[in-house]
Chains A and B, each alone.
Chain A
Amino acid sequence: DGGITQSPKYLFRKEGQNVTLSCEQNLNHDAMYWYRQDPGQGLRLIYYSQIVNDFQKGDIAEGYSVSREKKESFPLTVTSAQKNPTAFYLCASSKIPTGNTGELFFGEGSRLTVL
Chain B
Amino acid sequence: GQQLNQSPQSMFIQEGEDVSMNCTSSSIFNTWLWYKQDPGEGPVLLIALYKAGELTSNGRLTAQFGITRKDSFLNISASIPSDVGIYFCAGAVFNAGKSTFGDGTTLTVKP
- Which A residues lie at the B interface, using CB under 8 A? 4, 6, 31, 33, 35, 40-45, 48, 50, 56, 58-59, 90, 92, 97-109, 111
Contacts and interface: CB of A to CB of B under 8 A. Distances in A.
B11 interface: no
B45 A109 contact: no
Nearest to B42: A106
B88 to A, nearest CB: 7
B88 A43 contact: yes
B42 A107 contact: yes
A32 to B, nearest CB: 11
B59 interface: no
A30 B109 CA distance: 38
A104 B40 contact: no
30 contacts: A31-B97, A33-B98, A35-B101, A44-B101, A48-B98, A58-B98, A90-B43, A92-B42, A97-B96, A97-B97, A99-B31, A99-B94, A99-B95, A99-B97, A99-B99, A100-B94, A100-B95, A101-B31, A102-B91, A103-B45, A103-B48, A104-B35, A104-B43, A104-B99, A106-B42, A106-B43, A108-B42, A109-B40, A109-B41, A109-B42
Contacts, number: 85
A6 B1 CA distance: 28
Contact of B45 (A41, A56, A104): A104
B46 to A, nearest CB: 11
Contacts of A40: 9, 103-104
Nearest to A42: B103
Contact of A102 (B6, B33, B43): B33
Given A43-B88, A45-B98, A59 B1 contact: yes
B76 interface: no
A98 B92 contact: yes
B102 interface: yes
Interface string B80-111: 00000000101111111111011110000000
B56 interface: no
B53 to A, nearest CB: 17
B67 interface: no
